[in-house]
A and B are shown apart, each in its own frame.
Chain A
Amino acid sequence: MAIVLSIIIVAFSLYLVVTPLLRKDNIQLPVEIKDDTEDISIKNVYATLNELEMDYHMQKLSEEDYQKLKVQYERLAAELLEKDKKASKTDTDSAVKDIEAEIEEELAKLRKERGEK
């Protein structure tokens, strides 16, 4: 009984371990990790502004420090937003260009076909 059970356990284990190896497709490992600990997202800056406001209301920050830091982080937020905007604009621009190129290509193909006829 114990021997039969042992064989079943070993067979089951081997089955589980070997199955992935027999797969034909090799789904690629995900891309490399990016060190994003230095990146500051707009969300982070909002959280910072939120915390600064809380600290100010809780009297941990002086009025002067609060105003100075607030301006500093609002400026950072504006910079980040500006960067985002630019990035998305370039994205849209390039997307439009891509579409235009594709249309041109299609049109050229059609013209060629027509010409051939």
Chain B
Amino acid sequence: MHLIGNLSIYLALALSIYAFIIFILGIYKQDQRLVDSGKAASLIVFIMASISMLILFTALGTSQLQFEYVSAYTSTDLPILYKLAALWAGNAGSLLLWTFFLTMYTAMVVYSRKMKNNPLTPYVAAIMLANTIFFYLILGFVAKPFVLLDQVPVEGRGLNPMLQDPGMLLHPVTLYLGYVGLAVPFAFAIAALIVKNIDAFWLRMTRRWTIIAWMFLTLGNVIGGYWAYTELGWGGYWAWDPVENASFMPWLTVTAYLHSVMIQERKGMLKIWNISLIILSYALTLFGTFLVRSGVLTSVHAFGDSNLGAYFLIFMALAVIFSLYILMSRYHLLKKDSGQFESFFSKESSFLVNNLILVGATFAVFWGTIFPLVSEAVRGTKVTVGIPFFNTVMSPILLALIFVMAVCPLIAWQRSTAKNLRDNFLIPAILSLVVVGLLAGLGMRAAYPIISFGIISFMLLTHILEFYRGVKARRKVTKEAYPVALYWLMIKNRRRYGGYIVHFGIALMAIGIVGSNFDTETMKTVPKGGTIEIQDYVLTYEYLAQRSEGINDIVFANIRVTKNGKELGYVQPERIFYGSWEEPSTEVAVLGSLREDLYVVLSAWEKDERATFVVKVNPLVKWVWIGSFVLVIGSVFAIWTGKYGNTTPRYTGPQRKVS
């Protein structure tokens, strides 16, 4: 098995080098036969990557402990799902997964029906293959997945218990799909620069792939947050950990791109800016991988046990230098922007503001993330930039962004007048002031959250109004019933309304995020039968017990929960002791509703059965998860192919009286 495994790696390396060279030769000689051979080679590279994955999955699933990777990350007693998920527990496996996605995307682009006869195809493929070659070099010579041990151990070292969670089955996969997905628009961007031309087809393809990558990146981050919330037991879902930031930064720049590209499509503006955003996003994914793999920063993602980071740094530097060189050398050749901003009150202006905010946010996160490194280099001491820094900087940025999101849908392209703006904003503004008043009336005193909820409700209301007015405008012409008009309105403008659904998702997530301002926490040691009171909850600690699951021992507390005297049931926070791992892990008990989560952690216990619990009431957390579902629905709705809405409206420049 290991022979086939190694063959699949080295053959893929050889073929990706071959494909890269033959594509370039094909372009140089304008010989379709060479390009076709390169295409076949890209397909085989993908087949080889699939074979590698299949073999590693088989080895992990059947506990072939003679493989170093299998014995390092699994044990025979692991449930089969976690045995398989161990594929992305270590460096070699997770890089193989990365490579697999990269080769899959390359094959998809090369053999896509839409790319047939497109002269851009060999360029895009060659750029993606250059990435593939780098990953195969790592898999072939640095982090090899199919190394055999001299002696077969009786038992493996087991999987880090923190990774034994359903969230961990999906988090890396979705995140990688997002990270690697960004290689596609990057390749398209560089290819377009090389051929010195950007056509409407390029814009369409790049946008589509970027939305796909963006969606997976979002999902990856949210699932990671969910895992942190239920598994790490510190009570939150986002800690501004360097690695979290690493995946958040490309998310921000890609979000900026998805908006600014609309200005290019409709007004022929911001061409260089858009390409720069794509290059930056891709560079940030490599930077993120460098952070994870190098271990230069302390992080919950502790994979930094190798020199892989250095290779990534070199590769990132090469990729960035090459991209910048191409961008600079083509700068003057790209057709100059034909359109220009005409009015401050226009959709394009609001998109520009949104871009500035998002790029500003990226810079703030970047600075906060690398500051410890800078400080260490300059002053010799590593300063930790904590959660308060990020919260202080990012909260106003988030609010500003939501405000721009609220304003944007209600203004037209090219120009809007102050009167129209006022007419459109009046009702949502008054209603959100009512919300603010209600919240203050209900006893909320903190200014920040009140303002935040006000802005979020303003955003929700302007979007609802946009749907309502859209339906009304459509009915004026078609006289359809309301639901029919809504259906056709959305189907015929998938991008726009998909985008609005995504905005709804963001608003719901923002509700959850602002809710975290109101969490309350208590830590108490109570005897058997004792109670803990927090807000309206009374928790009665009934007993402590132990049960076994396989070779693991689980200690759990049984706690009865009542709220305002009403019985809510029982929660059982756990502490798991692993047969094959030294550190025990926490299994949080969450009793949740849309309003709040009761979050109980079993911290410690004594011989006399006194136990210490950390209890938190986290308001509105569920909205973060609900919002992310809505966001995914919106993204899928936006990219779903349909026969409508394929023609983008175009706006010409302003009509000048003099020249």
Chain A interface residues toward B at CB < 8 A: 2-3, 5-6, 9-10, 13, 16-21, 23, 26-38, 40-41, 43-48, 50-52, 54-55, 57-62, 65, 69, 72, 76
Contacts of B479 in A (CB 8 A): none
10 A-B interface contacts by CB (under 8 A): A2-B3, A26-B31, A33-B119, A44-B647, A50-B649, A57-B476, A59-B423, A62-B419, A62-B420, A65-B415
Contacts of A21 in B (CB 8 A): 33-34, 37
Contact of B652 among A33, A36, A40, A41 (CB under 8 A): A40
Q: Is B650 an interface residue (CB 8 A)?
A: yes
Evaluate whether A9 and B11 lie within 8 angstroms (CB atoms) in the complex, with A26-B33, A35-B197, A62-B419 already known. yes
CB distance from A87 to the nearest CB of B (A): 20
Q: Is B264 an interface residue (CB 8 A)?
A: yes
Which B-chain residue is minimally distant from A27 (CB atoms)? B32
Do residues A61 and B412 form an inter-chain contact, with CB atoms below 8 A? yes
Do residues B35 and A29 form an inter-chain contact, with CB atoms below 8 A? yes
Contacts of A9 in B (CB 8 A): 4, 7-8, 11, 51
Contacts of A27 in B (CB 8 A): 32
How many of chain B's residues touch chain A, expressed as a range? 35 or more
Determine which residue in B43, B197, B420, B424 has the highest number of CB atoms from chain A within 10 A of its CB, and name it. Answer: B420
Apart from A9-B51, A31-B119, A55-B413, 5 more pairs, CB < 8 Å? A35-B197, A37-B264, A48-B650, A59-B424, A72-B655
Q: Is B373 an interface residue (CB 8 A)?
A: no
Evaluate whether A60 and B416 lie within 8 angstroms (CB atoms) in the complex, with A29-B35, A35-B197 already known. yes
Q: Is B117 an interface residue (CB 8 A)?
A: yes
CB distance from B196 to the nearest CB of A (A): 9
CA distance A33 to B197 in the complex (A): 7
CB distance from B106 to the nearest CB of A (A): 15
Do residues B268 and A59 form an inter-chain contact, with CB atoms below 8 A? no
Contact of B417 among A3, A47, A65 (CB under 8 A): A65
Contacts of A38 in B (CB 8 A): 268, 335, 338
CA distance A19 to B34 in the complex (A): 10
Do residues B410 and A60 form an inter-chain contact, with CB atoms below 8 A? yes
Contacts of B117 in A (CB 8 A): 30
CA distance A44 to B265 in the complex (A): 11
Q: Is B118 an interface residue (CB 8 A)?
A: yes
CB distance from B193 to the nearest CB of A (A): 12
Evaluate whether A20 and B4 lie within 8 angstroms (CB atoms) in the complex, with A37-B198, A58-B470 already known. no
- Consensus secondary structure, chain B interface: helix
Evaluate whether A44 and B650 lie within 8 angstroms (CB atoms) in the complex, with A23-B33, A30-B118, A59-B423 already known. yes
Do residues A6 and B3 form an inter-chain contact, with CB atoms below 8 A? yes
Q: Is B40 an interface residue (CB 8 A)?
A: yes
CA distance A21 to B22 in the complex (A): 10
CB distance from B165 to the nearest CB of A (A): 36
Q: Is B472 an interface residue (CB 8 A)?
A: yes
CA distance A5 to B15 in the complex (A): 18
Evaluate whether A35 and B335 lie within 8 angstroms (CB atoms) in the complex, with A50-B649, A60-B412, A72-B655 already known. yes
Q: Is B203 an interface residue (CB 8 A)?
A: yes
CB distance from B334 to the nearest CB of A (A): 9
Chain B interface residues toward A at CB < 8 A: 1, 3-4, 7-8, 11, 15, 18, 26, 30-37, 39-41, 43-44, 48, 51, 117-120, 195, 197-203, 264-265, 268, 271, 335, 338, 410-417, 419-420, 423-424, 466, 469-470, 472-474, 476, 647-652, 655
The 10 lowest CB-CB distance pairs between A and B, nearest first, are A57-B473, A20-B36, A48-B649, A60-B412, A44-B650, A47-B649, A55-B412, A58-B469, A2-B3, A20-B37
Do residues B7 and A6 form an inter-chain contact, with CB atoms below 8 A? yes
- Consensus secondary structure, chain A interface: helix
CA distance A32 to B192 in the complex (A): 12
CA distance A30 to B201 in the complex (A): 15
Do residues B15 and A13 form an inter-chain contact, with CB atoms below 8 A? yes
CA distance A16 to B43 in the complex (A): 9
CB distance from A28 to the nearest CB of B (A): 7
Contacts of A33 in B (CB 8 A): 118-120, 195, 197, 199, 201-202
CA distance A106 to B36 in the complex (A): 44
CB distance from A37 to the nearest CB of B (A): 6
Do residues B417 and A34 form an inter-chain contact, with CB atoms below 8 A? no
Which A-chain residue is minimally distant from B15 (CB atoms)? A13
Do residues B40 and A35 form an inter-chain contact, with CB atoms below 8 A? no
CB distance from A46 to the nearest CB of B (A): 8
Do residues B647 and A43 form an inter-chain contact, with CB atoms below 8 A? yes
Do residues A37 and B203 form an inter-chain contact, with CB atoms below 8 A? yes
Do residues B4 and A5 form an inter-chain contact, with CB atoms below 8 A? yes
CA distance A50 to B492 in the complex (A): 12
CA distance A62 to B421 in the complex (A): 10
CA distance A99 to B40 in the complex (A): 45
CB distance from B418 to the nearest CB of A (A): 10
Do residues B412 and A17 form an inter-chain contact, with CB atoms below 8 A? no
Do residues B647 and A47 form an inter-chain contact, with CB atoms below 8 A? yes
Contacts of B650 in A (CB 8 A): 40, 44-45, 47-48
Contacts of B119 in A (CB 8 A): 29-33
CA distance A61 to B264 in the complex (A): 21
Contacts of B118 in A (CB 8 A): 30, 33
Contacts of B473 in A (CB 8 A): 54, 57-58
Contacts of B36 in A (CB 8 A): 20, 23
CB distance from A26 to the nearest CB of B (A): 6
Do residues B411 and A60 form an inter-chain contact, with CB atoms below 8 A? yes
Do residues B198 and A35 form an inter-chain contact, with CB atoms below 8 A? yes
Contacts of B271 in A (CB 8 A): 37
Contacts of A2 in B (CB 8 A): 1, 3-4
CB distance from B326 to the nearest CB of A (A): 16
Do residues B420 and A61 form an inter-chain contact, with CB atoms below 8 A? yes
CB distance from A54 to the nearest CB of B (A): 6
Contacts of B201 in A (CB 8 A): 33
Do residues A59 and B37 form an inter-chain contact, with CB atoms below 8 A? no
Which B-chain residue is minimally distant from A57 (CB atoms)? B473
Contacts of B200 in A (CB 8 A): 36-37
Which B-chain residue is minimally distant from A9 (CB atoms)? B7
